[in-house]
Amino acid sequence: MNVLANDGISQSGIDKLQKSGFNVITTNVPQENLIDYINKEGVVALLVRSATKVRKDIIDNCPTLKFIGRGGVGMDNIDVEYAREKGLTVSNTPAASSQSVAELVMTQMFSISRFTFNANKEMPNNGHTEFKKLKKKYSKGVELRGKTLGIIGFGRIGQSLAKYAIGCGMNVIAYDKFDFNNTITLTFANGSTVDVAVEKSDLNNLLSNSDFISIHVPMQEDGSAVITEKEIGLMKDNVRIINAARGGVINENALLKGLNNGKIAYAALDVFDNEPAPRADVLSNEKIASTPHIGAATVEAQDRIGLELADHIINCFS
């Protein structure tokens, strides 16, 4: 049975599938050719990340397809309910990348607090002639300890982020439109644990009291942004915002306006509208630290994702 990992899969996932008798194809098939390729090769399972979209046209026109797997959390690039109505199994890996995304957000928070995202670009070109100037330019950083981090969306990733932030001495408040358990367990290298209660908050309170705001929600069903000019207006002056969730959950025009008028000090984005061709004015803004949607892209996370997807496929066809 053929499995098409159109956006890639770890070698550990490939090995596990092959041991169970599956043939894994890692050819990246263009979106417009997917239907023909799936039918020609008799693909029974299609694995995607965020790049490939699995809409009704594929579901309706690929009779051999029985399984759709998303390596990661959000499944807004898949018509999930429609696929399930048609009898397909749809699965994702929500826990596998939580730690890697949380670590990237911590990286981004440090970066926009100490200006390393810009200093790292300027030093190779100008450091040898303008060292003192650059030292003065980047000498007004802020510390994370003692600051308040507001987490919008307190699922697995939000909880993982809270653990790192608490470890750095940050005060954490969290909002989610669904009720959640606000007690998280910190696990240390020696195996000891401690339970910590995170403050539950409504959205307005979070916006007005956070020094840093990190967003961890899926794309909204109606496509609307969670953070618009209205929400930005409720935020503290000089707030710092991080989005490693989905492009579109922050209105980019509102974000740029907030950066330009000084309401927002800095922002860090791992996701963008119009991927894989983000707006040039967003990427070039000196107050935005950008990464190319790499939240889950660690070796460890990819291994976990590949192995988990392999287990889902094996169970589906066993």
Tokens linked to 309: 């997807």
Quick check: bond before 276 cis, omega within 30? yes
User: Measured between alpha carbons, how far is 29 from 37 in angstroms, rounded to an integer?
Assistant: 8
Q: Which of 156, 246, 304, 312 is catalytic?
A: 246
Q: Which of 240, 293, 304, 312 is catalytic?
A: 293
Q: Of 8, 2, 88, which Cα lies nearest the Cα of 41?
A: 2
User: Measured between alpha carbons, how far is 157 from 243 in angstroms, rounded to an integer?
Assistant: 12
Q: How far lies 52's CA from each of 28, 59, 69, 312, 315, in Å?
A: 9, 13, 11, 19, 23
Q: Is 145 labeled as catalytic in the residue annotation?
A: no
* The pairing of beta strand 183-187 with beta strand 193-197: antiparallel
Q: Of 16, 43, 73, which Cα lies nearest the Cα of 314?
A: 16
Q: Is 293 labeled as catalytic in the residue annotation?
A: yes
Q: Is 246 labeled as catalytic in the residue annotation?
A: yes
User: With contact defined as beta carbons under 8 Å apart, do 67 and 311 qualify?
Assistant: no
DSSP sequence for 263-296: SEEEEEES--TTTTS--HHHHT-TTEEE--S-TT
Active site residues: 246, 275, 293
